[in-house]
Amino acid sequence: GALEITAPTRIAQNISRPLYTWCTRPTHSDVTCISNTTHPYNDLEMNGNGAPLPPANRKSSDPRCRLPYSGGATVQISTKANTSTLLSQKMEAKARMKMNRELHMERDAFMERLRQEREGRLESEVGAATSIQSAFRGYATRPHAESVVTMKDIRREKAQKGEATIETAMLKDLDIKLGLKPIPGVTLNPPKKKMTKKQKRLAKKRAEEQEAGALKLQSMLRVKTANEKTAKLRDQKERREANNAAFMIQRSYRGYQGRQGFKQKRECESATFIQQRFRIMTAKARVKDLKEDAIQKKREDMAASALQAAARGRRQRSAGDDDGTKGL
């Protein structure tokens, strides 16, 4: 990719971010890997200039597949259609699917490796551009020998001439070099005048009043700032106390709800247990009554059967006695 940066100079200039451009056009390997398919020719059957032979001059018309990274290696993946069977066609389809899957895996691995190489190259270019720009910024920021010597000379002259600022000394030197007359109060500071005792006393009093006023203003500002800070802290404390109270109320209410829910659960469990025991007792009493009824009915049936048998025996015996009497 192309990298565009600014060249270092001895004069400070605007620094712009680097502009990175890189090419995303697929290479021959990418195209070969992506569009890999079967080719109806044998790689070994080539003419003198490296081109494949025409179909009429080829010895074998079996479709062959060119692998993208193995030079002239070929793999046969199908046979003639006129001698193929259903089983062979299925086997060939499985072989083609396997080969297609392997080629796709190889293509994905190649594209991943290509992406990693491009990202690594871009990262190294970014690091190099950052280092170059950092070095240039340091070079442009640091003072150099000539400028340091010039500033030292100006400070020395200012100290010797008693000027108030460095700019005043530089303007005076420039006026002397150009031969121009300085304008008091414009190009240079006005010359200092001698003051009388009264003027000095008034100036001192004025300075004291200004200092007292400044102290008063600073005191008022500090009081105002302290009041605002105190109000802010008080507000924060009240808000924190209100939040704590709200949390306490919510926690107490959640505890009350939990206890009520537990109480209701215990009541429901107790009612369920009582109902269950009552149903068990009722069922046992009913079963007992049914058993007693069955036993009583069985006894009655047995007694009735015994009575009926005795009556039938007596009737039979009486009938036999009557027949014997008639025979005599």
> Is residue 103 scored above 70 in pLDDT?
yes
Write the burial class of residue 11 (CB in 10 Å: 0-12 exposed, 13-18 middle, 19+ buried). Answer: exposed
Alpha-carbon distance of 252 to 272, in angstroms, equals: 30
Query: Domain range spanning residue 20?
Result: 2-141
Most confident of 41-50, 79-88, 236-245: 236-245
- Which residue pairs from 70-74 have beta carbons closer than 8 angstroms and sit at least 24 positions apart in sequence? 72/43, 72/44, 73/43, 74/42, 74/43, 74/44
* Percentage above 90 pLDDT, the chain: 26
In a domain, 214, yes or no: no
Query: Same domain, yes or no, for 127 and 31?
Result: yes
In a domain, 11, yes or no: yes
> Is residue 190 scored above 70 in pLDDT?
no
Per-residue pLDDT reduced to its tens digit, 263-303? 999 999 999 999 999 999 999 999 999 999 999 999 999 99
Say what the pLDDT of residue 138 is: 79
CA angle, residues 181, 184, 187, in degrees to nearest 5: 70
Tell whether pTM > 0.85: no
Can you give the C-alpha Rg of the chain in angstroms?
Answer: 58
Report the domain count for the chain: 2
- Token readout for 1 is 């990719």
152 or 94: whose pLDDT is higher? 94
Q: What is the mean pLDDT of residues 232-248?
A: 93
In a domain, 75, yes or no: yes
Say what the pLDDT of residue 183 is: 62
- pLDDT category at 85 given cuts 50, 70, 90 is confident
In a domain, 157, yes or no: yes
Query: Same domain, yes or no, for 64 and 76?
Result: yes
In a domain, 51, yes or no: yes
